[in-house]
Amino acid sequence: MRHRLPFATALLLFLFTVPALPQICGVHCGSERWKVKTLTDTNAANIDPDPVDKSINWLRNRTRPSSLPNTTRLIGIETMTFKVKGVVLSFKKEENNNEFHVVIAQSNNHSRTMIVEFPDPHCANVCSSSFLNQMRKAREDFVARFGEPPTGDFGKPHHPVLVEVIGVGFFDRMHRQIGKALPSEIDLHPVIGFKALE
């Protein structure tokens, strides 16, 4: 005669032998190259975290790749961390993903601009990124310097503020954005370090 386990015992055995499902955090925010933007793509382990000092103009003049994979980063610029100095010209919060979208420029030539992005730590992928703490701290430091978090409309400081930004190289898709780096359309995305120098 076949021996049957009591229901409670069978249930406990089931619960302890079924592999745990991975925990999912955060709310849906972005989609386009989102894993690359949040440093959670399959090539994220190749990112060199040691920042290289470069000028905004140097980044603007990198060769743009012919195509951009949606789910993984390109080896080269997108696996490098950069430290740049520039002045903050304007900023806003993007409505679709809550990122702080910040335009910075070379201090000696405000026409030479680029975009740096501060992800929302409450977004999916951001909250599970191994760089979460750096992204959160950079965002907090930005708010500490400029006051209230940005709104959906572009705001400007009373005067251009000199800052130091550390972030990972990222080629954005070609679209109309104020302050984009031409011709490369490189962003620092995400920002993982921010410091006001004045």
Q: Which residues of the chain have pLDDT under 50?
A: 1, 11-12, 14-15, 18-23
Domain contains 2: no
Which residue type does 101 have? Answer: H
SS3 content of the chain, % helix, strand, coil (to 5): 20, 30, 50
User: What CATH code is carried by the domain that includes residue 178?
Assistant: 2.40.50.140
181 located within any domain: yes
- Dist. CA 162–CA 39, nearest whole Å: 27
Terminal CA-to-CA distance of the chain, rounded, Å? 83
SS (H, E, C) 14-75: HHHHCCCCCCCCCECCCCCCHHHHCCCCCCHHHCEEEEEECCHHHHHCCCCCCCCCCCCCCC
User: What is the predicted pLDDT for the residue at 18?
Assistant: 44
Query: What pLDDT score was predicted for residue 30?
Result: 82
- Structural domain range at position 190: 29-196
Residue at 8 is within a domain: no
Q: How many other C-beta atoms lie within 10 A of the C-beta of residue 16?
A: 7
Tell which residue, 195, 194, 191, 139, has the closest CA to residue 167: 191
Residue 14, in any domain of the structure: no
86 closest CA partner among 120, 59, 61, 67? 59
Question: What's at 181, amino acid-wise?
Answer: A
- Does a structural domain hold residue 16? no
How many structural domains comprise the chain? Answer: 1
Identify the pLDDT of residue 5: 53
Whether 24 is in a domain gets the answer no
Is the CA virtual torsion 67, 70, 76, 78 positive or negative? positive
Query: Is 22 part of any domain?
Result: no
Q: Is 116 inside any structural domain? A: yes
pLDDT tens string 160-185: 999 999 999 999 887 778 899 999 99
Q: What is the pLDDT of residue 26?
A: 83
**Which pLDDT belongs to residue 175?**
72
Q: What is the pLDDT of residue 20?
A: 44
Residue 22: its pLDDT value, please?
A: 44
Tokens of 192: 């993982």
Write down the mean pLDDT value for the chain: 89
The pTM of the full predicted model, rounded to 2 decimals, is: 0.86
